[in-house]
Structure 1
């Protein structure tokens, strides 16, 4: 919590009610203060502000009586004061309620210890807002990172579950899923090493992202398995989207010596059934993927339709 004591000017210009205005002005100029506190027996009894000075100077200059004016006749009486331990919020509220631009600050024995001005409070408030903005930005970054796979730069399992949960509350929204799995990828890792496997996964996800529609989302489902969520499409549209991903990976021509196909490829299973719950839909896509993996690889299979993509 920011306190008034941290913001205040430690020593202000303070004068007695009987002091002449010329002397008060000289003190304010010497101290470079825009106001003076009027004390009587150590008690704050008034403030002399720029507004007070302008008003009285205009009157006194017309009457040529400036030298006869004392501080007590110029001051705004009984100003509101604030404790040095009060918070910035308390000071801001007091300034708003009292319409004071300068507030005397009192210590534990109610003695004057400083002044806090509207400028002080405004600058402190700006600092608070800047810190809040930095925290909001940092939290937003952390949230994004918590929903992103650090290796592939796509949504992780948590992001997938969040987005699918959102769809659960949109019963009229049509969508489809595709489970994508790289063919013989364990053999790839064993043959080329896991670092090469990570680089291959990065290239694969990058190539697939280039072929996504505006409302499609790609997630890392687990290991080398990806999930493609396609909104506003039917089973046929999902098959086409998954097949574009399959072709994009094949066209990378990433060498895969242990594969019968010679290059890295993927297989996919797609599902789209508005009547199914999400778990059942994923299970349907998984069964279609299994069929693709056991019937030749490098192909896309529709849920419930054992039809393969051309190789």
Structure 2
């Protein structure tokens, strides 16, 4: 029985046509037409600085009246930049998380030097995911002993590709870690800020003990749904563990994050979910905030350092009486 590899190196297309930022849109369109490419990468010294996809082109045509002239439009003026990339050492799961979080269909693949070595598309990722399910079906046709061993292995692979929390339908802890790692690396490479919030339901154990675990599960869903309703499309909500959530806010400063955190605290409280075992008598949340600018001076800082800061401030919010957000 064949082994299903989930490494990006085995999925990517190695033949990538690149153009320089100073080329015209017209030249890029001709290349895409002649080569039947769904996208083209814009690079400098073999390092991707932008990308132009079929979807970008449709949006360009729709947003400009009168239409822009491809012959005179410089591609650096209309490309999506910086491009969302993945590393050649990444796995299928990591690429799936990045594509889902960033809402992109084309991922340039780079080597440790940042040079482009390939490209992987949404179709490539979906096909690889589907192949794992097909692999399970093939196993059924083998002998019982071999079938059992192969099913165990295949089920582990499929479980490893799960990106969502089964109860809440938001990103799970493993997907969160991949997204944070990718976001931190991109923020470092392209010099932009990002923020995180750690969100905790106040007195949740007391709520569970008083109302029961089914009611507790229902409350978790209501809080998650409410937070997702009021955040931006670019923001990503994950289940951090138990009654805790992590909200990742790309390209957001500390001040704007604090304002949004205050809004979330008030919004959840306004749901007026009864909580007799809370001093507020309704369900509330506390939030700790961190921004990557706070770890810029630390040598070899990682996303986990930022989460630690948010965690410390979450404890401070609880010490100060709960139902509030703390940003310093």
TM-score (norm 1): 0.52
Cα drift, residue 173 of structure 1: 2.8
Q: Which has the larger radius of gyration?
A: 1
Confirm whether residue 217 of structure 1 aligns to residue 236 of structure 2: yes
Match among 302, 313, 320 for residue 288 of structure 1:
313
Question: 2 CA distance for matches of 1:145 and 1:195?
Answer: 27
Confirm whether residue 261 of structure 1 aligns to residue 280 of structure 2: yes
Task: State the secondary structure of the residue aligned to 2:199.
Answer: strand
Could you give the per-residue CA deviations for residues 254-304 of structure 1, whole angstroms, max 9, x where no partner exists?
1000101010000001011331531211111011100000111000000xx
Task: State the secondary structure of the residue aligned to 1:169.
Answer: helix
Residue matched to 2:165:
149
Confirm whether residue 164 of structure 1 aligns to residue 180 of structure 2: yes
5 Å-filtered alignment, 1:199-238, equals 199-238=218-257
Residue matched to 1:197:
216
Deviating above 4 A after TM superposition, structure 1's stretches of 4 or more consecutive aligned residues are 136-139, 142-145
Residue matched to 2:130:
135
Could you give the per-residue CA deviations for residues 155-200 of structure 1, whole angstroms, max 9, x where no partner exists?
0100100101112321123100100000011000000000100000
Contact 2:183 2:250 in 1 (8 A): no
Question: 2 CA distance for matches of 1:166 and 1:282?
Answer: 15
Question: 1 CA distance for matches of 2:240 and 2:129?
Answer: 32
Could you give the per-residue CA deviations for residues 96-122 of structure 1, whole angstroms, max 9, x where no partner exists?
xxxxxxxxxxxxxxxxxxxxxxxxxxx
CA RMSD in angstroms comes to 2.4
Task: State the secondary structure of the residue aligned to 2:292.
Answer: coil
Could you give the per-residue CA deviations for residues 6-33 of structure 1, whole angstroms, max 9, x where no partner exists?
xxxxxxxxxxxxxxxxxxxxxxxxxxxx
Question: Residue 261 and residue 147 in structure 1: after superposition, are their counterparts in 2 closer, same or farther (change >3 A)?
Answer: same
Cα drift, residue 251 of structure 1: 1.4
Question: 1 CA distance for matches of 2:129 and 2:310?
Answer: 42
Question: 2 CA distance for matches of 1:212 and 1:144?
Answer: 28
Gaps of 5+ in 1: 2-131, 306-311
Gaps of 5+ in 2: 2-126, 135-157
Contact 1:269 1:288 in 2 (8 A): yes
